[in-house]
Amino acid sequence: MMSSSSLAAALLSSVVEEHHHSSAKVTVVGTGQVGMAAAFAMVTQGIVSELALIDMVETKLRGEMMDLQHGQAFLRTVKVQASTDYAVSKGSKICVVTAGARQNEGESRLALVQRNVEIFRTMIPQLVKYSPDTILVIVSNPVDILTYVAWKLSGLPRNRVFGSGTMLDSSRFRFLISERLNIAPQSCHGYIIGEHGDSSVAVWSSVNVAGTRLADIKSNIGKPDDPENWEQVHRDVVSSAYEIIKLKGYTSWAIGIMVSTLCNAIMKNQRMIYTLSTLAQGFHGITEEVFLSLPVVIGEGGITSILNQNLSADEARKISESAKTLHQVVIGVKI
């Protein structure tokens, strides 16, 4: 009986040795709902040529790998691998980290952060060991704190370590505005900056449709004295994840699509502007060494520029407070 290798040798005449590591390889660490939504989006959208999955639960890991592999006949060919060994990530252009501990009932935020720091102590050096030129994209929550931790542990330059931050919050913001105005979300432009969380800042001063600032039409938009209560849009952005988790148990699809879009922008050097968690020290009067979301230019080298965004006095005050809130957590973390 002919072996599969013998059949391949008879069928195919080799010209050169196969090149094993592609520049379009992405590793996803964590095969929970978020990690697999991101993996699924990248595979189905043809973003990657090689995908590596890493998790500590070997049975689920193998099942997820097989499930993706078995759809290959319907898609562009993607090499999908999975392992509990970080060596599978070797040669990754991007490493997406979605793994982390969940908050226990009654557990403080700082205690949760510290447990995740312990996980990151093992994870981050291993990723950098096998892919020293990689870009680290942190999705695990609390994302701003853990992105700071990953930056410190990795030793990589600041442009190659960033978090998903408020990129999804900004998408939610645009969608909710578009629903009120009855136009497409792609035609509404606005940003949520600062912490991915309760102290995030809606930049109402620059929200616009086709270049027309809504604040020029309605000067009190987003403010407490606005009778149309546009401020509720930002409150709905902040509560969105909580509401989805209450309804279905977890968030997955939107964050998965977001991660895939971000990885595509990196792979194709698209120079897109997204609000990502980055080292914000020196911007908007922030003196603390903290990571929070600002509009940044993203390309194949990671973050190449940070937008010098014009903020109102109130917005600048709020992002300064957001930075201080995050810094209070950072100084309590033992890395």
Q: Which residues are catalytic?
A: 196
Distance separating alpha carbons of residues 75 and 30, to the nearest angstrom:
23
Report residue 137 as tokens: 């994209």
- Is residue 201 within 8 A of residue 193, CB to CB? The reply is yes
Distance separating alpha carbons of residues 301 and 70, to the nearest angstrom:
33
- Which helix or strand (DSSP H or E) is residue 141 part of? none
Pairing of strands 192-193, 135-138: unpaired
Q: How many residues does the chain have?
A: 335
- Is residue 171 within 8 A of residue 164, CB to CB? The reply is no
Distance separating alpha carbons of residues 330 and 289, to the nearest angstrom:
9
Distance separating alpha carbons of residues 263 and 25, to the nearest angstrom:
10
Residue 276 phi/psi, 5-degree rounding, is -120, 155
Residue 300 phi/psi, 5-degree rounding, is -65, -20
Give bridge partners of residue 279 from the DSSP assignment: 291
Residue 188: strand, helix, or coil: strand
CB-based contacts of 319, cutoff 8 Å, min separation 6:
193, 194, 201, 284, 286, 292, 311
Distance separating alpha carbons of residues 319 and 196, to the nearest angstrom:
12
